[in-house]
Chains A and B, each alone.
Chain A
């Protein structure tokens, strides 16, 4: 393979830690090893994802054929699906929990948790996270919160059903909707634990990136993955505590008679004592997390995609510094745009103008990123591995979904599409599908790193990608139309009055595409599980990548590198770099120069 130039400099942290006797419990359950923790995150996330997607199929069936009876409702929903008819409250519960699970449990923990854990130590050249113990706690809190969320599905009055945004008073008053009883309590408990988990994880990521980089790994030599995880962690630390405060206040309103969010309410035949609170305050607090949250979801995916695209294009990522700058710009702007979710909530219209301005500004760094990805492909030598296909798919859905954001971010236009299916189509494409593509790309790409060189089957991967790609557009393109037709979201059925009767066939098309797409995910699940045990063992560095994780031992050892930690001499993107007289690549016969290889003779030094 390559001319592996080892650097034998002294390393003070040589192989500490991997002489402990590992028991089953310390290795697989309460592991402090970041590689194991990342697998735990991934598998928990995928498990939650199965639940979340299954729920979406149930409510898609209801939307497409509201008059038909499906025994499957009774099988899965029990008393809420009696006789094959879905209960309207259960419909709302399904959309609520689907949203919660997908946004927090799959795309936050499952995506950022998995890959931050796997890649931060490996790509920066560290033996583990700054605190393996906190990292372990972080995972187990996540596990606990997942457990509470799943448990909440089984409470007597049903799970939380006030929408994933849980706006009070609906979420505060069990009289308003049955799901706001014990189900909502469990939801809030689960989310509070989730936030603690996320904060512990994020602090760990930040400290690790800042302090544990190997010699030579300056911030401007970091792979874009690490930049993305690092900035994501910062946004998380800034915004998640605000959601915690909102959740705590909501708990107090619900259980201790305070009135942070409640005022002047007459419900179930009586006036409540609450006076002076405002639901709009909750909306502000919620979206102060909620909007950065979508970037918490999408930034790691962007990082993964940048890395995978460069590797498989055999080209450096175009505009590395502009990519970092736009990550930073997006992160900064993401914390000052939350009001665009609230244009028609009764917020002061002047604030609406301000938020329109900041929101549309986000389109600029996003556009820069999209153009840079496209240019990265230009004149490359594209290796169409499954991860690469998902990365290209990511850019495609990110563009399609992002562009409609220009409409929703414009307060004047938002008036008429706010809370319609147009919004649903927009955010599913731009953050749901895109982030899922990022997740899949990451899994296919780093699977050999996670499972000791075993590789996922590429042909099943191709089947998975192409069906998913077609299905995803099949679901969400038509959805824009029913949104523009004025159809509000979260309607149990669209046929209880005649005006939307002509949308039924659109809904049928969407549901059929959704079922096909979901079926394609079974191919992925099979491929994933099968490859863990029986996947073919590929080479140590299967994608011929420059980053450090591929120099680490194939066998998972605590400490990652058996010998000293490699030092870094160049940036992460020396793909297809030619030597000075342009006769060959800098390392003859090899189109990439890994980060730990020192500058070669006859190589021009770049700025990195």
Chain B
């Protein structure tokens, strides 16, 4: 009934609009008219609004920085991450500089040269020198950025196996992660999805001698200060191993092994004590406390307080639980790491 009434009202409204339009149509003269073309008054109003708009852009920028600067990622927790952050800073400074100036020119000109009836525009079609200047300046700036960027990129992607990195396999499947350590020999055993059976969830080839001491876990522990070489595999669809705090990411592709290497520099404990993290955790806990009040009022369980941990996130659309496919990363001292690793079961032990 309600639906019927709603439809009826919509129809009647439509009819009313149509009729009003007809009356409107009949009441006006048939001559062409110029009333829908901007007049000097429109030019003036919109010219001023253009000036207002560029100020709006600056204001929204300032507000965003002021309100949300603290949500940005904390300082890089890896060696190469510092390089990325520096490059990012340089790029950002250039972007803001260029952006602020060009936006100003664009909108200021729109304001300054707003149309007036008897004003004459200047016939100005070409200026080779000017165009040369603003071709060559981007060329120089970009050349600098490209070279800087390429050096950073090659440094990150060229993995030197001579400095004996810790080899860790990151194994992705819908919708969770596993990490596999090479064990005492720091060498991963062969694996293939065709060997997946029972507890051998990663399809590791048990007959490969290198595989015997492999250790499979679902919490990633990394020793601080040692280079880690990640070998990524996927069991089903594309996933992406994204470790934002370490400025690291690589897709996990079924059918091939991809890799990424970095050296963690800040342990989880140290990171938790950093001011920006302390502030962030406090902010998040305030939000959670507030949400908990609403939850307990409804008779549900309150949220647990949050403590900072590094995260490995899936960053390539992979299915319904993509949004919650994550694994905790713990960076600790070499001793702690070794102690932890010694407690984990090796593949041989698991398969028995």
Contact = CB atoms under 8 A, between A and B. Distances in A.
A173 interface: yes
How many residues of A sit at the interface, in one of the four size bands? Answer: 35 or more
B330 interface: no
B235 A266 contact: yes
A364 B146 CA distance: 13
B126 interface: yes
A453 B32 contact: yes
Contacts of A536: 28, 33, 35-36
Interface in A142-173: 162-163, 167-170, 173
Interface stretch (B60-68, B178-186, B216-224): B60-68
B226 to A, nearest CB: 20
Given A279-B253, A412-B152, A415-B156, A265 B103 contact: no
Contacts of B321: 88
A364 B139 contact: yes
B125 A318 contact: yes
- Best-buried of B35, B119, B237 by chain A (most CB within 10 Å): B237
Contact of A266 (B57, B70, B236, B322): B236
B193 A353 contact: no
Nearest to B321: A88
B142 A374 contact: no
B121 A381 contact: yes
Contacts of B146: 356-357, 360, 410
B341 interface: no
B194 A170 contact: no
A233 B242 CA distance: 38
B158 interface: yes
Contacts of A65: none
B130 interface: yes
Contacts of B326: 497
A407 B315 contact: no
A455 B36 contact: yes
B320 A473 contact: no
Interface residues of B, number: 125
A537 B25 CA distance: 11
A403 B98 contact: yes
Given A264-B255, A378-B113, A407-B88, A491 B21 contact: no
Interface string A274-309: 001111100000000000000000000000000000
A494 B106 CA distance: 37
Interface string B250-274: 1101111010000000000000000
B4 interface: no
Contacts of A522: none
Contacts of B245: 486
Given A170-B237, A481-B64, A263 B145 contact: no
B149 interface: yes
Contact of A418 (B33, B84, B306, B315): B315
Interface in B96-142: 98-99, 102-103, 105-107, 109-110, 113-116, 119-127, 130-131, 134-135, 138-139, 142
Contacts of A419: 240, 242, 249, 315-316
A546 to B, nearest CB: 13
Interface stretch (A209-217, A235-243, A569-577): A569-577
Contacts of B254: 169, 262-265, 279
Contacts, number: 392
Contacts of A530: 21
B352 interface: no
A379 B174 contact: no
Given A491-B322, A499-B311, A374 B106 contact: yes
A415 B315 contact: no
A381 B64 CA distance: 35
B317 A492 contact: no
Interface stretch (A2-10, A365-373, A433-441): A365-373
B336 interface: no
A345 B284 contact: no
Interface string A255-269: 000000011111100
Interface in A378-414: 378-385, 388-389, 392, 395-396, 399-400, 403-404, 406-407, 410-413
Given A263-B254, A279-B254, A406-B145, A162 B317 contact: yes
A458 B36 contact: yes
Contact of B95 (A162, A406, A540): A406
24 contacts: A176-B236, A264-B194, A267-B174, A346-B256, A356-B146, A364-B139, A368-B138, A375-B130, A377-B110, A378-B124, A379-B124, A383-B37, A412-B152, A416-B73, A486-B244, A488-B315, A492-B323, A497-B324, A498-B303, A498-B306, A501-B287, A502-B283, A536-B35, A542-B37
- 4 shortest interchain CB distances as A-B pairs: A263-B255, A486-B244, A349-B157, A346-B258
Given A384-B114, A484-B73, A537-B30, 9 more contacts: A264-B254, A267-B237, A271-B194, A363-B142, A367-B138, A368-B135, A400-B103, A485-B73, A530-B21
Interface of B: 21, 24-25, 28, 30, 32-38, 42-43, 45-47, 49-50, 53, 56-57, 60-61, 64, 68, 70-73, 81, 83-84, 87-88, 91-92, 94-95, 98-99, 102-103, 105-107, 109-110, 113-116, 119-127, 130-131, 134-135, 138-139, 142, 145-146, 149-150, 152-154, 156-158, 173-174, 192-194, 196, 203, 232, 235-238, 240, 242, 244-245, 247-251, 253-256, 258, 280, 283-284, 287-288, 303, 306, 311, 313-324, 326
